[in-house]
Amino acid sequence: MEFGPILRSLLRNKTGALLIALQIMVTLTVIVNAIYIIQERSQHMTKPSGLDEANITHILSIGYGESFNAEATTDNDLRVLRGMTGVADATVINAIPVSSSGSSNGYMVEPGRLELAVMAAQYRSDDHAISTMGLELIAGENFSPNEIVRHEPGTARTDTSVIVTRAMAEALYPDDAAETTIGRIFYAADDTALQIKGIVERLQVPWPSADFAENSVIYPEIELDGGNYYLVRHEPGYRDENLPRVEETLAAQNDTRVLRENQTFEQTRTITFIPDNAMTSILSIVVSILMFITGLGIVGLAVFTINRRRRQIGTRRALGAGHIQILRYFLVENFVISTVGVIFGAIMTVALNMFLVNNFDLAPLQWYFVPAGMAVLLVLGQLAVVGPAWRASRMSPATATRNI
């Protein structure tokens, strides 16, 4: 191998090599951090909600005026929705998971101990909640129909049984298996006692980026403040056909209310993740542009340095160097330059990551992203240089040594 001559030649002509190394260094810094952010975002975008997402739609109904009877309307709406062809089940609920809008509360295993509070989303729904959302009940049982409370706004709430998620049970009782917590009593911030009646495997809160993303509590309660969501699970294949019919059917039942947000769960998910989606798309474009520009830069400088060294190449060829040796010379040269670039790049990558972590609440980089990025850039360098180097190695000794 011609390491010695390559190094000496590089040291005599530092600028070009230095520029390439710097470029590789900055490129590594950006792409590793960008890909890490992309990967982190995608993870939280694909986190399962626990719902049977493909078949669910929801609609918001808000009553107005003196004559609006919330209780009668809700009962009638639910009866009509459940009777529709192609509808598997329907329920009424105060908030939609993953929709960014809902309400949360702190819960404690001992009353009044606010410092122990575990945050969780509160869902208020009826005995059809589990079946409509398609949740998996892993312990205990569902609400019975006669347990469901009709809550008038402005009246006191009483102690009740609730269904919680596995994550919530584990957060309240970290030392016990979730399944064993059935029947235990915990407390809301206003000291209402809540007894765990059932546990579901998973149900996301409305805010996917919350640090309590799977802590949910379902109350057996229909809120009679006039504004409620209906969640509808359709039989497979019926969702799109049924979506407009849900709104038409409800509109026909009662005209002293406004219907809004008649949409599929998938649309809700898309809307919630617009910023994350935009961020990952922009970052992917940045990464591709950088790889492209850096690749072009390496090609451009390789062509240039090879043209400048035509005579040296010719001389080496005349002295008996084969195609492969010329090719190898430039590949090794690029490898040396790139290695310097990625080593400094690795240091800068970690530095930038620390900066982002300290200033913008990002999670620290996992270590394997750095070597992976280094390897990718080393390969990119070799690929960029192989074309010009190949042409150089094809040069006949005669043309190469002839004067220009």
Partner 1 sequence: MFFYYIKLALLSYRRNPVLSSLMVLAIAVGIGAFMVVYTLTYIMGGDPIPQKSDQLYHIQFDYGDPAISAFEPPPQLTYRDAMAMLEAPFDYPRTATSRFSEAIEPPSRNIAPFFANGRGALSDFFTMFDVPFLYGGPWGAESDSNGEQVVVLSRDMNDRLFGGENSVGKNLDLGGLVFTIVGVLDEWQPIPKFYDLNNGQFNVSEEVYVPWHLIASQELRRSGNTNCWAPPEGDDFQAFLNAECAWIQYWVQLPDQNAFNEYQSFLNSYVEEQRAFGRMRVPVDKRLFNVIEWMEEQEALPNEIKVLTVLAGLLLAVCLLNTVGLLLAKFLGKSAELGVRQALGANKSSLMIQHTIETGVLGTIGGLLGLGFAVLGMEGVKILLSGDIPLDWLGIDMTMAMTTVGLAIISGVFAGLYPIWRTSRINPAIHLKTQ
| Positions in the binding site for partner 1 (CB under 8 A) | 15-16, 19-20, 22-23, 26-27, 29-30, 33-34, 37, 62, 64-66, 106, 114-115, 117, 154-157, 188-191, 227, 258, 260, 270-271, 274-275, 277-279, 281-283, 285-286, 289-290, 293-294, 296-297, 300-301, 303-305, 307-308, 352, 355-356, 359-362, 403
Return the residue matching tokens 């949409």.
263
Cβ nearer to partner 1, comparing 157 with 323 = 157
Min dist. Cβ of residue 5 to partner 1 (A): 22
For partner 1, give the closer residue by CB, 69 or 277: 277
Q: Which candidate, 145, 123, 128, places its Cα nearest to that of 203? A: 123
Q: What is the DSSP letter of 327?
A: H
Q: Is residue 162 a contact partner of residue 181, using CB atoms and an 8 Å limit?
A: no
312 vs 325, beta carbon nearer partner 1: 312
Residues 6+ apart with CB under 8 A from 393: 323, 324, 326, 327
**Dist CA 52 CA 164 (whole Å):** 18
Between 134 and 295, name the residue whose CB sits nearer to partner 1: 295
Q: Which two tokens stand for residue 220?
A: 């057996």
CB of 124: closest distance to partner 1 in angstroms? 15
Estimate to the nearest angstrom the gap between the alpha carbon of 221 and the chain centroid.
32
> Which residue, 55 or 192, has its beta carbon nearer to partner 1?
192
Q: In the complex with partner 1, which residue's Cβ is closer, 308 or 394?
A: 308
Q: Is the dihedral of CA 389, 393, 396, 400 positive or negative?
A: positive
Q: How far is the CB of 145 from partner 1 (least distance, A)?
A: 25
Q: How far is the CB of 7 from partner 1 (least distance, A)?
A: 20
DSSP readout, 368-396?
THHHHHHHHHHHHHHHHHHHHHHHHHH--
Give the ranges where 13-157 is alpha helix by DSSP (H).
14-45, 70-83, 129-133
- Least distance in angstroms from the C-beta of 397 to partner 1: 20
β-strands 216-223, 104-108: how paired?
unpaired
Q: Is the four-CA dihedral 353, 358, 360, 362 of positive or negative sign?
A: positive
Give whichever of 30 and 168 is closer to partner 1, judged by the CB atom. Answer: 30
Task: Classify residue 110 by burial, with Cβ atoms within 10 Å: 0-12, 13-18, 19+.
Answer: exposed
CA atoms within 13 A on the CB side of 151: 23
Amino acid at 257: R
User: Token pair for residue 392?
Assistant: 């150089």
Distance CA 139, CA 255 (A): 42
Nearest CA among 225, 186, 201 for reference residue 103? 225
What single-letter amino acid sits at 326?
I
Of 260 and 394, which CB lies nearer to partner 1 in the complex structure?
260
Name the residue nearer to partner 1 (CB basis): 168 or 188: 188
In the bound complex, what is the minimum distance in angstroms from residue 18's beta carbon to partner 1? 9
Minimum CB separation of residue 294 from partner 1 in Å reads: 6
As a whole number of angstroms, the distance between CA 332 and CA 339 comes to 10
Q: Least Å distance between CB 172 and partner 1? A: 16
Backbone angles phi, psi at 8, to 5 degrees: -65, -40
How near is the Cβ of 151 to partner 1 at its closest, in Å?
10
Q: Minimum distance between the CB of residue 65 and partner 1, rounded to whole angstroms?
A: 6
Task: Decide whether 237 or 275 has the Cβ nearer to partner 1.
Answer: 275
